[in-house]
Amino acid sequence: MYETFEELKQSIQNCQKCKLCNNRNNIVFGTGNEHSKVMFIGEGPGADEDMQGIPFVGKAGKLMNMAFEGIGINRKEVYIANIVKCRPPANRNPEDDEVVACLDYLRNQVMLVKPKIIVLLGSVALKNILGKEYGITQSRGKWVEKKGIMYMPTWHPAALLRDESKKIDFWQDLKKVKEKMIEI
């Protein structure tokens, strides 16, 4: 357990726990308010994120930013991270051993942020945080409470780029998150 974000980031900087480290340009640590009530967790960095070292700055991130603006969520007020901190080749889903190698880093981020709400972006985040028995199609849009944290599974923004019909669901899920943010 690391006591500060800086200590944690330093440990990840030199990580070689899995093969994803072999091709990375940058680790993609996390960004935003380190004491936010709300945390968003995606699956892994893409090419733009790998180049900049910041999560959700590519096409999917731009779409997420537009949704945030429309709903009144300030990106700087939430914390955004990923399951894995290095880019999987060709933007494939992270493999189980890669997730296992990185999951303690994410757990440490959650412990440091202490969010009340965690938005799980897509199936990879959902299954690795809440459990393999969860499916994104059945779970999205439904609050799940575990250990005092409210979880909202929703589509990953990249899924919206492939299937525009999911945008309405995503929008409705983010509206629920915004309402819960106001409540707590």
Percentage above 90 pLDDT, the chain: 98
**Section 149-159 average pLDDT:** 97
- pLDDT band with cut points at 50, 70 and 90 for residue 1: confident
- In the numeric block, which tokens belong to residue 93? 């889903």
- pLDDT band with cut points at 50, 70 and 90 for residue 25: very high
Q: Where are the domains of the chain?
A: 5-183
**Section 6-10 average pLDDT:** 94
Give CA–CA dist 88/144, Å, rounded.
Answer: 28
Say if residues 84 and 104 touch (Cβ distance below 8 Å). Answer: no
- pLDDT band with cut points at 50, 70 and 90 for residue 39: very high
Say if residues 40 and 80 touch (Cβ distance below 8 Å). Answer: yes
Question: DSSP 3-state helix, strand, coil percentages of the chain (rounded to 5)?
Answer: 50, 15, 35
Say if residues 39 and 113 touch (Cβ distance below 8 Å). Answer: yes
- In the numeric block, which tokens belong to residue 173? 């899920």
Report the chain's mean pLDDT, rounded to a whole number.
96
- pLDDT band with cut points at 50, 70 and 90 for residue 40: very high
**Section 155-179 average pLDDT:** 97
CATH of domain 5-183: 3.40.470.10
Could you give the C-alpha distances from 41 to 22, 23, 60, in angstroms and in order? 23, 22, 13
Number of neighbours of residue 176 by Cβ within 10 angstroms: 17
Q: Given a cut of 90, is residue 123 above it in pLDDT?
A: yes
pTM for this entry: 0.96
